[in-house]
Structure 1
């Protein structure tokens, strides 16, 4: 029996491209004890062409200080993500850190004016602002409730952004209430559609997971597809502080289901460890 797919025929979803090592750092969050170093699980073969490639990659991650090999008495060694490794994960893997941030009531507003002849620079700047989860209030006016002065300073040093932009701080923007700012600056209709789709698909798959037995390949396929779907529906989410979140926000439900599904898959994979 096939898992229900997150794909929707009427939607054009961004393609999820991650380096293999990033994928494993992600997996280590919830499946650390399953990722055995001596080829004692089926997991490595789903992301590496052979066992040597897997060992080489794990060795590089350990040398970089991103993972450590822990050993308990009378047990096989396993891998554990370090604090440095956790910092490399995109923030949507630990969104509660963003939600639980206390907002100081200040909006940070970036205004830029890039000539048409420098369109490539403008597109790169917009891409950077999206990665920073800023909202587009108007065409060249972007806002965020988070203090981005350090990032702006880095951008100024690297790309001379202060020649075409200003970073302002204000408790109000155009005399608009905070709720109006939030509703206007992010595409909540699209975010809600993505997250509602995720909840529908993976609640169904979670029930299917518990109803019948699945082999290791099927379980790993579910794990992979869930990871991609989770990223696709959380990537556009600004992960605002709790007090600014929309009333019917679904992101927390998505995160909870994602964590639950991973734990259930890990439990079912235990029987395939040799």
Structure 2
């Protein structure tokens, strides 16, 4: 079977974070840049793009450097480790299907001056990332109890935002509200495309040294999809909602690739312990 390469919409930084979460998180090690370049080349990312991604992530505080002789190694910062731990929770604990919803919604209302177009755009972007959808223009809603205090404080909008917990009144058509508020068709299409792309690997195996890159692509694409999913209560979603089937495909392919990927990592990766002065 032909090699799966990185999707156009998947940024090298996303793949880099997935790689580091897989190989570095929780191990107090850093990885040689040449090892990263080798693995990324197998995922269809060129050397220059990989080097540029490493440099940008250092500048953004997501990576730190550790020089050993003439070689440069890269490790995690506290910020990137926190991002990766959240990603781990989303993949392996929270999951893609919300069956435990207790009927609670988080409502967030905001009123910003007309001239604050940038602030309005930033707030809407972060609310979307946090699972909210626009119930009305200045009133957004998300399933469950969502803590937005850090988000609001970061934007400096605490004086312009009000947050409530709520339950729908009897007779409210929640399924209709969900369809009006979120782009379900677009979200379902992402899950369906993921299954089409990865289901063949449930029965096929890659070349040994491609397995690590393939597993990284699998994880990065899956995390990108579920991070965009507001985890709406499955009881109010269409009967043929594709998230559960896509999650099964992800887990089966991941399990199938893992023995080869782990062996590949042993062969391909040059790792060093983090120096005490770098910890």
The TM-score, its normalising length taken from structure 2, stands at 0.66
Q: Give, in whole Å, the separation in 2 of the partners of 1:116 and 1:174.
A: 36
Matched, 1:3 2:8: no
Using a 3 Å threshold, how does the CA distance of structure 1 residues 185 and 15 change in structure 2: closer, same or farther?
farther
Matched, 1:214 2:207: yes
Q: 2:113 aligns with which of 107, 112, 115?
A: 115
Q: Which residue of 2 aligns with 1:102?
A: 100
Task: Give the conservation status (yes or no) of the 8 Å contact 1:206–1:261.
Answer: yes
Q: 1:136 aligns with which of 130, 134, 154?
A: 134
Q: Per-residue CA shift, 1:76-132, capped at 9, x if unaligned?
A: xxxxxxxx7873426532353674573332322212232331101001101110121
Secondary structure of the structure 1 residue equivalent to 2:204: helix
Q: Which residue of 2 aligns with 1:200?
A: 196
Matched, 1:161 2:157: yes
Q: Which residue of 2 aligns with 1:23?
A: 19
Q: Give, in whole Å, the separation in 1 of the partners of 2:194 and 2:6.
A: 7
Secondary structure of the structure 1 residue equivalent to 2:163: strand
What 5-or-longer segments of structure 2 have no aligned partner? 41-49, 52-65, 268-279
Matched, 1:225 2:221: no
The TM-score, its normalising length taken from structure 1, stands at 0.67
Q: Tell me the number of residue pairs that the alignment of Structure 1 and Structure 2 aligns.
A: 239
Matched, 1:268 2:260: yes
Using a 3 Å threshold, how does the CA distance of structure 1 residues 38 and 88 change in structure 2: closer, same or farther?
closer
Q: Which moved more, 1:182-191 or 1:97-106?
A: 97-106
Using a 3 Å threshold, how does the CA distance of structure 1 residues 177 and 26 change in structure 2: closer, same or farther?
farther
Using a 3 Å threshold, how does the CA distance of structure 1 residues 56 and 13 change in structure 2: closer, same or farther?
closer
Q: Which residue of 1 aligns with 2:91?
A: 93
Task: Give the conservation status (yes or no) of the 8 Å contact 2:15–2:217.
Answer: no
Using a 3 Å threshold, how does the CA distance of structure 1 residues 197 and 38 change in structure 2: closer, same or farther?
closer
Task: Give the conservation status (yes or no) of the 8 Å contact 1:108–1:146.
Answer: yes
Q: Give, in whole Å, the separation in 2 of the partners of 1:267 and 1:202.
A: 18
What 5-or-longer segments of structure 1 have no aligned partner? 68-83
Using a 3 Å threshold, how does the CA distance of structure 1 residues 139 and 125 change in structure 2: closer, same or farther?
same
Secondary structure of the structure 1 residue equivalent to 2:120: helix
Using a 3 Å threshold, how does the CA distance of structure 1 residues 241 and 111 change in structure 2: closer, same or farther?
same
Using a 3 Å threshold, how does the CA distance of structure 1 residues 114 and 25 change in structure 2: closer, same or farther?
same
Matched, 1:146 2:144: yes
Using a 3 Å threshold, how does the CA distance of structure 1 residues 6 and 200 change in structure 2: closer, same or farther?
farther
Q: Give, in whole Å, the separation in 2 of the partners of 1:93 and 1:140.
A: 31
Q: CA RMSD in A?
A: 4.1
Q: Give, in whole Å, the separation in 1 of the partners of 2:89 and 2:12.
A: 16
